[in-house]
Structure 1
Amino acid sequence: MKRASFLLAVLLTGCGTLPQPFYGNPGPAAAKLAVPPAPVLMVPTPSTALLGNDAAPIYARDLAGQLAAYDVPSVAGPVQKDNWHLQITATLSGNKVIPSYDVIGPDGKSYGKETGKPVGAKEWADGDKTALAQTASADAPSLSKLMTRINANIQHSNPHSLENRTPRIFIGTITGAPGDGDTSLPTDLSRALQGPNLEQVKDKQQADFTVTGKVKATPQGQGKLLVELDWTVRDTNNRVAGKVTQIHELSQSDVSPYWGDVAAAATKEAAGGILSVIQNEILKKTSKPEPAGK
């Protein structure tokens, strides 16, 4: 079964014991989590860093790789809308080159600067691959700390940030399920999502996120059904924040007339994916300031 190519498919693995047959019998396609990736720090090829046309993209890749090793999601590539980027420059000081870094937010403003370690001017100008790799390795730790400080400052200074309060979720309708699934699935999902990480509300207008579901049951013969559950998480602007898809082969009797323990197992499995979608979206929202006056 094909999914849109831009979705990130991650195998959901379970722990503990869930009722059969849903858990432990994943069927032909298993369970997939589809969410947009968290926002990344783009590292574009520097044009004012005293590097040649061949060396500049190499250094961008080296630095992005080193930052990723310090848990800073980084990709070498051009500046992209809604993502942060790192502006790299360099100055000559005697026989040394001093790299400089400027963290630019999605709004085009500078949020922090860092000066790198000196590197030999000749090696830098020649694009010596060893020197470039060593410089990236030397400068990545301080840059990762700078990103941590920037993120903390933004979160703490924004009273509307979801990082400073519990996100509110509204569980909407489930459609297309055989048997009593349209009723039992949202009920069991509400139970599965209970906990300190989310506040469930009964009014959609009060929610930060809304979850709805669609079920498609395709007969496979011999009393079997291929059941696909698609959970969609939307934000306050009705924009899709992410999706969780589950695909399992079940017997007709497992879901008709009652889903029973199968609904509890399915929603418990889906809850982890839904939480991941929400956490990724919160990360995106808190990585840049709220507009003035909001």
Structure 2
Amino acid sequence: MKRALFVRRAAGLIGAAGLSLLSGCLDVPHPFRDPGREGRSLALNPPPSRLAVPAPSAALLGDAAAGEWSRDVVAALLEQSVPAVAQPARKGDWWLRLGAVSRGGQVVPTYSVITPAGVVRSTDEGMGVPAATWAAGDPAMLKAAAGQAAPGIAGALTGIQADQMDHDPHSLKHRAARIFFAGVAGAPGDGDVALARAFAASLRDAEDAVQNVPRDADFSVACKVTVTDGPPGTTGHPQQHLQLVWRVVDAAGKEAGAATQLHDIDAHALDGHWGDVAVAAAQEAAGGVRQVVARYSGRDNVPLPPPVVAHAQR
């Protein structure tokens, strides 16, 4: 009876507060981030790892203010995990064309993503600013305009990456992710083996393939289990803190994300057979790892529609 009660409590934990995704490791990918050697080898036409943002020549600003706006946009894009750089566009660069148009007594800033072939891939507009304020090139106003526009630009880049993946037969939009599972370590009792078996069985589906060798894997997953003594529970019985961290890294060894499960258990309740507890924990962990892989790879992102072909002047 005591064992069955624990199994139900453990399952309840995992469905409630037991699983947390480390959001700091789940930033949305963009096409201008360097995917590493393995990622580049899978792409048919990989973009460069930076987005050039030249100072605009036709933005209704003086030269000094135009340069400051370019730098502000770069800073705002870096906050969105887009490795932008304030410099003129060079041959082979993707770049962001800054501009501005007069409309009804206001100036509307514009942002166009340009391909290396000079095609306008996307265009976004910022909020209108009184013409006199814009012409004065107020630093606070330029910084605010850049910050307001950055999320939309980053979203467009995500859509561009998704479109590239859609047209790449080798991308994770068209095949299952190859995941090397390095196993579980640190669990008491038979937890290392029971969790590993249950996790491998739970993760396999049409989108994720588990393999036991690291060669050619898109991602690697390993779980570390930690058990520490805690204070007595409400009934006075000794307690332990159980933590499972499922860490996901990409093919280049960069952190892709992690799923963490936490629970307080009766002391030494898992020193023997894990049974259904391992199955419940592994199923929930598999869902978390699947989310990490999907968000990091961008396989679930919506492609940006094809552009109306127009060539940009540098």
Cα distance in 2 between the residues matched to 1:215 and 1:225? 13
The letter for the 1-side match of 2:121 is G
Q: Which residue of 1 aligns with 2:239?
A: 224
Cα distance in 1 between the residues matched to 2:162 and 2:101? 33
The count of residues paired between Structure 1 and Structure 2 equals: 251
Q: CA RMSD in A?
A: 5.0
Structure 1 261/111 Cα, relative in aligned 2: closer, same or farther at 3 Å? farther
Q: Which residue of 1 aligns with 2:10?
A: 22
Q: Which residue of 1 aligns with 2:285?
A: 270
Structure 1 45/51 Cα, relative in aligned 2: closer, same or farther at 3 Å? farther
Q: Which residue of 2 aligns with 1:31?
A: 19
The letter for the 2-side match of 1:37 is D
Q: Is the 8 A contact 2:27 2:81 kept in 1?
A: no
Cα distance in 2 between the residues matched to 1:249 and 1:210? 28
| % identical equivalent positions | 31
Q: Deviations over 1:98-154 (max 9, x none)?
A: 74423268x9x97625385998854643579xx99xx99xx99x9799657633541
Q: Which residue of 2 aligns with 1:160?
A: 170
Q: Deviations over 1:243-276 (max 9, x none)?
A: 1111111123531201111111211221221111
Instruction: List runs of 5+ in structure 1 lacking aligned partners.
Output: 1-17, 65-73, 288-294
The 5-angstrom pairing of residues 244-283 of structure 1 reads 244-283=259-298
Q: Which residue of 2 aligns with 1:90?
A: 99
Q: Provide the TM-score with structure 1 as the length reference.
A: 0.63
- From 158, 166, 186, the equivalent of 2:196 is 186
Q: Which residue of 1 aligns with 2:312?
A: none
Structure 1 199/44 Cα, relative in aligned 2: closer, same or farther at 3 Å? same
The 5-angstrom pairing of residues 71-220 of structure 1 reads 76-78=76-78, 83=83, 87-90=96-99, 99-103=109-113, 112-114=121-123, 121-122=131-132, 124-125=134-135, 147=157, 150-220=160-230
Cα distance in 2 between the residues matched to 1:273 and 1:267? 10
Q: Is the 8 A contact 2:114 2:120 kept in 1?
A: yes
The letter for the 1-side match of 2:206 is P
Offset, 1:166: 1.3
Cα distance in 2 between the residues matched to 1:217 and 1:239? 27
Cα distance in 2 between the residues matched to 1:250 and 1:243? 22
Q: Is the 8 A contact 1:227 1:248 kept in 2?
A: yes
For residue 22 of structure 1, give the secondary structure of its aligned residue in structure 2.
helix
Q: Which range moved further: 93-102 or 273-282?
A: 93-102
Q: Is the 8 A contact 2:240 2:268 kept in 1?
A: no
Structure 1 144/206 Cα, relative in aligned 2: closer, same or farther at 3 Å? closer
Offset, 1:218: 1.0
